[in-house]
């Protein structure tokens, strides 16, 4: 207990120091938005590294001055095309230096960048592009291949390909506009908890505040640091904990095309990484990998991310020698952030912003966060006789609800491009009649010390390999291959984070057709198992009853198949045993 209190005091001192360092930048950043930070970094650290990227084994890099000049050059291009504040441009690209330059160039004009991972194919990609509603689309080779998978051309004025945007571009510097903090900076595609992909709206306020929090309250970055991510640049973690935090601190933002267990430590050495970003499965992959001498040759002092299991935490620290693991909790579209900066194993920490105002009589000490009791069978929040939500007790899981208020800027819910999707994430009458709260769709618990722990996803969405998987999106992709009632859900597996996708079908399945249709989905969303059942149960409102299927997992005598090398093979006793022992890949 004393060690935890001391850790919190040290954390508070470091946070105060880092906030003091960036204090002079706050007024300009608030007025000029994200690229106001870029201009400041180029003036303060012109020759220090700003971006490093590995591209086909080639290390590409830009200093802060070079990045600022490249952003001006691309911004002049978009201005000549007529890009105006509020125009959305979809960046359907892999992790490339050009993507970062394009994104910041659009931001400098007041336009909106929408990074879209090219791992999406077919209908899921079409849904994302429709949700973004871009005026233009920019691609690289992998992005063009993704667009070629669409049955209909995307609706946009033009599709452009930029092989290189880092060459010198003549012309005067473009002034960063004075942007209202509520203007949209980024649109990030998210599966959410209610079905089809949605375009989460991140205003400049949100990007600036999140980047500052990850820097000053989590990683404590400096200009000598290199923040390294193997995650897609379309992922909120890469954008907020990576790029935005680097813009505040002057640290270098570094990335690779994709995650590779075999190359992770070697890439960290090549990039000069000092801080590594992760999602939960990355930690387990690295902890379970064969011994790698590079795991101790890197210069990383901090790992920052979310979803790291308690049993992986000490093993990852032991093999890597990294002193500090900073676990956090947040959602792309959410209005809260929790950070564990005291190394309490398994915890996602505590809220970074305290509640404003004193709690009312009888309320919990943090009135803007609520862990509400949740009925998994009915997929609904439990309410008392007055219609108010019932709060979970200490160490009891509940769905995290966050009060929506304009008084506290971090508690504003910015929602999605689609107003109907925004409304679907709001619940009312939680503590008082008429109050409004954001539904995270996550089950958390809080211990007696006040630290919070992630438990699971709720409803139709489950989490696998660090991604939220929408059962509706998977069902829509697979439906043409199925002629009988079916259900998509996630099942827990031994020694694995999250839940693996399973498809239950009420007839003999066409396994080849399912595998073929599944290739249109991102790899993490493809069902790992197919199970033939006698019938699919529905509620009175025709909702599929997944609770029993989820609870049974692989423990049934029904014919079941497992995805292996792109095809489904019978789930034999030997394979089941390998899964139980955690050695099936």
**Does a structural domain hold residue 348?**
no
- Based on the fold, state whether residues 69 and 119 are members of the same structural domain: yes
In terms of domains, do 257 and 376 share one? Answer: no
CATH of residue 429? 2.30.38.10
Are residues 302 and 406 both part of a single domain? no
Residues 134 and 269 in one domain: yes
Between CA 198 and CA 421 the distance in angstroms is 7
Residue range(s) defining the domain that contains residue 306: 2-340
Rounded CA-CA distance 128/117 in Å is 10
Final residue before a domain boundary, out of 399, 434, 457 = 457
Last residue of one domain, picked from the residues 439, 457, 475: 457
* Cβ-contact 270, 295 below 8 angstroms: no
User: Are residues 155 and 254 located together in one domain of the fold?
Assistant: yes
438 and 480 in a single domain? The answer is no
Residue 347 included in any domain = no
**Collapsed DSSP state (helix, strand, coil) of residue 572:** coil
Residue 371 inside a domain? The answer is yes
Contact between 251 and 222 under an 8 Å Cβ cutoff? The reply is: yes
What is the distance, to the nearest Å, from the Cα of residue 414 to the centroid of all Cα atoms in its chain?
A: 16
The CA distance from 422 to 414, in Å, is 8
Q: Are residues 411 and 494 in the same domain?
A: no
585 residues of the chain, pLDDT tens digit each:
556 667 666 766 776 776 667 766 666 666 788 899 999 999 999 999 999 999 878 999 999 999 999 999 999 989 988 999 999 999 999 999 999 999 999 999 999 999 998 888 888 888 889 989 999 999 998 899 999 998 888 888 888 876 555 444 556 677 777 766 788 999 998 754 445 678 889 999 899 989 999 998 888 999 999 999 999 999 999 999 999 999 999 999 999 999 999 999 999 999 999 999 998 778 888 988 899 999 999 999 999 999 888 888 999 999 999 989 999 999 888 888 999 988 899 999 998 865 444 444 444 445 789 999 988 767 789 999 999 999 999 999 899 999 998 777 778 888 888 888 888 899 999 999 999 999 998 889 999 988 999 887 787 778 888 787 878 778 878 988 887 888 999 998 988 888 899 999 999 999 999 999 999 898 899 999 999 999 888 653 345 778 789 889 898 899 999 999 899 999 999 999 998 888 877
497 and 415 together in one domain: no
Q: What is the CATH number of the domain that holds 553?
A: 3.30.300.30
439 within 8 A of 460, measured Cβ to Cβ = no
Residues 175, 324, single domain; the answer is: yes
Give dist(CA 258, CA 231) in Å, integer.
Answer: 6
CB neighbour class for 30 (10 Å; exposed up to 12, middle 13-18, buried from 19): middle
Same domain for 515 and 404: no
Residue where one domain finishes, among candidates 306, 340, 374: 340
- Asked if 443 and 474 sit in the same domain, the reply is no
């Amino acid at each position: 207990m004393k060690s935890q209190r001391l850790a919190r005091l040290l954390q508070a001192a470091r946070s105060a120091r880092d906030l003091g360092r960036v204090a002079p930048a706050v007024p300009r950043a608030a007025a000029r938005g994200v690229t106001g930070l870029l201009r400041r970094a180029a003036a303060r650290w012109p020759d220090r590294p700003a971006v490093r990227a590995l591209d086909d084994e080639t290390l590409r890099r830009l200093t802060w001055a070079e990045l600022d000049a490249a952003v001006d050059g691309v911004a002049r291009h978009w201005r000549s095309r007529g890009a105006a504040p509020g125009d959305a441009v979809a960046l359907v690209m892999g992790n490339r230096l050009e993507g970062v330059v394009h994104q910041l160039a659009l931001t400098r004009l007041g336009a909106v960048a929408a990074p879209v991972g090219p791992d999406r194919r077919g209908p899921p990609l079409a849904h994302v592009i429709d949700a973004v509603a871009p005026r233009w689309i920019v691609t690289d080779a992998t992005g063009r291949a993704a667009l070629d998978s669409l049955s209909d051309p995307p609706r946009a004025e033009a599709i452009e390909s930029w092989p290189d945007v880092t060459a010198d571009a003549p012309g005067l510097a473009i002034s960063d506009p004075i942007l209202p903090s509520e203007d949209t900076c980024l649109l990030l595609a998210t599966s959410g908890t209610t079905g089809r992909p949605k375009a989460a709206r991140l205003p400049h306020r949100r990007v600036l505040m999140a980047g500052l929090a990850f820097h000053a309250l989590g990683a404590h970055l400096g200009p000598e640091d290199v923040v390294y991510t193997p995650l897609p640049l379309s992922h909120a973690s890469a954008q907020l904990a990576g790029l935005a935090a680097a813009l505040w601190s002057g640290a270098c933002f570094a990335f690779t095309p994709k995650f590779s267990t075999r190359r992770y430590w070697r890439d960290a050495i090549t990039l000069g990484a000092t801080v590594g970003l992760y999602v939960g499965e990355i930690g387990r992959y690295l902890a379970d990998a064969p011994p790698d001498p590079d795991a101790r040759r890197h210069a990383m002092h901090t790992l920052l991310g979310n979803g790291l299991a308690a049993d992986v935490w000490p093993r990852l620290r032991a093999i890597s020698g990294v002193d500090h693991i900073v676990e956090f909790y947040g959602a792309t579209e959410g209005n809260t952030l929790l950070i564990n900066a005291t190394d309490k194993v398994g915890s996602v920490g505590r809220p970074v912003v305290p509640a404003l105002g004193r709690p009312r009589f009888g309320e919990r000490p943090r009135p803007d966060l609520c862990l509400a009791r949740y009925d998994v069978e009915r997929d609904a929040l439990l309410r008392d006789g007055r219609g108010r939500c019932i709060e979970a007790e200490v160490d009891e899981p509940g769905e995290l609800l966050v009060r929506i208020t304009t008084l506290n800027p971090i508690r504003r819910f910015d929602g999605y491009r689609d107003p109907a999707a925004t409304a679907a994430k709001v619940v009312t009458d939680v503590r008082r009649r008429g109050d409004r709260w954001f539904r995270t769709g996550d089950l958390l618990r809080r211990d007696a010390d006040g630290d919070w722990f992630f438990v699971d996803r709720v409803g139709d969405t489950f989490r696998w390999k660090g991604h939220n998987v929408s059962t509706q999106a998977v069902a829509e992709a697979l439906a043409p291959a199925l002629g009988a009632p079916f259900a998509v859900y996630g099942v827990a597996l031994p020694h694995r984070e999250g839940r693996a996708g399973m498809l239950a079908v009420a007839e003999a399945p066409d396994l080849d057709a399912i595998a073929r249709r599944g290739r249109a989905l991102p790899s993490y969303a493809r069902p790992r198992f197919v199970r033939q059942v006698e019938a699919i149960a529905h509620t009175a409102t025709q909702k599929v009853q997944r609770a029993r299927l989820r609870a049974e997992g692989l423990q049934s005598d029904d014919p079941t198949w497992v995805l292996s090398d792109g095809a489904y093979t019978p789930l034999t006793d030997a394979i089941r045993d390998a899964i139980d022992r955690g050695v099936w890949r």
